[in-house]
A and B are shown apart, each in its own frame.
Chain A
Amino acid sequence: MTAAGKLLRTAGKLLRTTAFKLVLAYLFVFATLSVVVLIYVSWHANALLAAQLNATVNAEVTGLSDQYRQGGIRRLVAIVEERSNRSGGSIYLLTTMSGEVLAGNVSGLPNASLAEAGERELPYRRVGEENAAPYPAVVRVFVLPGGYRLLVGRDTEERERLSAVISNAVQWSLALVVVFGLAGGVFVAKRVLGRIDAMTETARTIMAGDLSGRLAVTGSDDEFDRLAGATNAMLDRINELMAGLKEVSDNIAHDLKTPLTRLRNRAEAALRDARTEDDWAAAMERVIADTDAMLGIFNALLLIARAESGGARDKLAPVDLADIARSVAELYEPLAEERGARLTVAAPVAISVLGSRELIGQAVANLIENALNYGADDGGEVRVEAMADDETARIVVADRGPGIPEADRERALDRFVRLDTSRTRPGSGLGLALASAVARLHGGTLALEDNAPGLRVVVTLPLRVPTLAAPPPKLALAAPAA
């Protein structure tokens, strides 16, 4: 490609950019504005000067009329003579009715200019400068008693000069606005264009399948950095959701195939071996129980998926966390007692959070079930607490069992994971994952801590500010803390 062609292409691209269009628009606005301002100023300055001229001429005329009234034509001639010799912008001419000059400093006026009284503008030459170019002047002509004509005027060259200066200024400022505006526009457009092009390029590679690509963040914290940051966070979230989706499908394949196989085997065995009515009934009951267990897994998966998509956020209402903790603990208390464990609850004060009683209740139920199943099989203690500080509300479910080793804690929140050998116990393996998803749905977190000994599950939720109409918690774009 030739250099000229390349330049043309760049220019064409530049012309199509939003920044450049904006620059043109602003250029037009500013140019128009500066012209309007200058025209306004020059118009007013002209008017002001004209008024001043008029006032001066009027004052002179009044003075000369007085002199004429008091001293007759002779005195007037003497005074006009005397004033004519003064330097300055005033011009005088006194003639008889027939046009013979009695006194004055003007020559070469057209004859007709003295014929009538009144005010007019005309070119004049001073006495002794008959060959020079005429100057413009504003004059007033009076017809005095006796037919004398008196002309008094002011040179208007000052005014003309001002006009020239202003029109000059208009031209220069227009030129400057256009030059600097265009240059600035080209600079801004090029810069913006460059960064946007870089972003588009990155976006293309990401779309092409490389989800690990990220937009460059320059650290200047300008709009582009913020856009890049938000886009990167969005990509992180998409990545996370994709990974989650893949994991779910892998796990569904694995964890649902197992009970499905078992179900199928049972049905087959019944078909083959069942002889009596009772055999059939027992086989069918087991089939139904297996089906129910699978439905439970499905429901939990759906709930997790929904919680993670954040779809239910706008339906949250103020609920009392302490009340939920107490009611769920109360629901499980007899079960704990039956198993020889002790379930205690400490939720003394009401804690208002924006949430779903149903989902939080289910999360707490799952945590308590987990604690009873894994942390209190030999008659330990399970403690449920609800508390709040200035900004966050917490529900804690703690047991005194073996706990989870620190290295396994992150994995424990994954779907379907049942650590160690506990696969033979009841449960879908979704309890913790579900509780964690519920926490995230509420804009909170779930953390696994060491209860020394035992496991301490802490669900932290944002506290509802009671005085304000609290907006639903914002969708967290960033990846949740592991």
Chain B
Amino acid sequence: MTSSMKLLIVEDDREAAAYVVKALTEAGHVADHAADGVEGYELASSSSYDVLVVDRMLPRLDGLTLIRRLRAEGAATPVLILSALGQVDDRVQGLRAGGDDYLTKPYAFAELLARVEALARRGGPGAGDTVYKVADLEIDRLSHTVTRGGQEIVLQPREFRLLEYLMRNAGQVVTRTMLLENVWDYHFDPQTNVIDVHVSRLRSKIDKGFDKPLLHTVRGAGYVIRDGGR
């Protein structure tokens, strides 16, 4: 369902980069690698990518400066910042420099993949629609109504936002931290499975009583809403 993306990984740790490139290739994407900031800048400005994955600390040209330069030249390519610095204000700094998302090292590859795919899709077709639709499930963002098979489903405001986010990324895996960030606007790691409980509540409202489940758990990664299981 996910179309192939062209990605640039700017990362000075060659072993980590090789692993990410290999895993992205296995996931059906094309990934280039740049080992320092200058090389990354040259590649990013000479060919077109769907998403840039930029490490913050790079030799020759640091990640944030690289992003600022690209943004100053009008490049709108989404950027995911990778960093070993995970503090709140480091994240804010990264986003201010022109990054679109921020991922703290070490990370699970599933998390990176989910975020990169979400970034690539952002602003793509359907992003601005008022009605999202997956199979017979419909969510109307203007009237705040949810129907499945023509039958109205009543959701709490937070459940609505949860479903809205899942539907906007329909067919794509979203991770628990992505949900916490985008639905609750918190970036910490809860030690318990709070998100899972919210999702299972939502699932009981939208899937219960219908023969085809739409909200699926992806083991080791997160959740996905899609028509038809895997």
Contacts and interface: CB of A to CB of B under 8 A. Distances in A.
A363 B36 CA distance: 38
Contacts of B108: 288
Interface residues of B, number: 24
Contacts of A240: none
A338 to B, nearest CB: 5
Nearest to B184: A331
B187 A335 contact: no
Given A295-B106, A334-B198, A338-B197, A358 B188 contact: yes
A359 B87 CA distance: 10
Interface in A266-317: 285, 288, 291, 295-296, 299, 302-303, 306, 312, 315
Given A335-B197, A358-B186, A303 B106 contact: no
B26 interface: no
A372 B194 CA distance: 12
25 contacts: A288-B108, A291-B106, A295-B106, A296-B189, A299-B86, A330-B158, A331-B184, A331-B190, A332-B194, A334-B201, A335-B192, A335-B193, A335-B194, A335-B197, A338-B197, A356-B88, A358-B187, A359-B88, A361-B186, A362-B186, A365-B190, A369-B191, A369-B192, A426-B191, A426-B192
A428 interface: yes
A315 B192 contact: no
Listed from nearest, the 7 A-B pairs whose CB atoms lie closest are A362-B188, A334-B197, A358-B88, A335-B197, A315-B89, A335-B194, A361-B186
Q: For chain A, what secondary structure do more than half of its interface residues adopt (helix, strand, loop), or is it mixed?
A: helix
Contacts of B180: 331
Contacts of A318: none
A347 to B, nearest CB: 16
Given A295-B106, A335-B197, A369 B87 contact: no
B192 A312 contact: no
B182 to A, nearest CB: 13
Interface string B142-162: 000000000000000010000
Nearest to B85: A302
Interface size range on A against B: 20 to 34
Contacts of A357: 185
A427 interface: yes
A291 B107 CA distance: 11
Contacts of A338: 197
A173 to B, nearest CB: 64
Given A302-B87, A330-B158, 10 more contacts: A312-B88, A327-B185, A331-B180, A331-B194, A335-B193, A338-B197, A358-B187, A362-B188, A365-B190, A426-B192
A303 B87 contact: yes
B220 interface: yes
A296 B184 CA distance: 20
Contacts of A335: 192-194, 197
A363 to B, nearest CB: 9
A369 B186 CA distance: 16
A288 B191 CA distance: 15
B74 to A, nearest CB: 29
Contacts of B185: 327, 357
Contacts of A302: 86-87
A361 B187 CA distance: 9
A415 B180 CA distance: 26
Nearest to A370: B191
Interface string B72-101: 000000000000001111001000000000
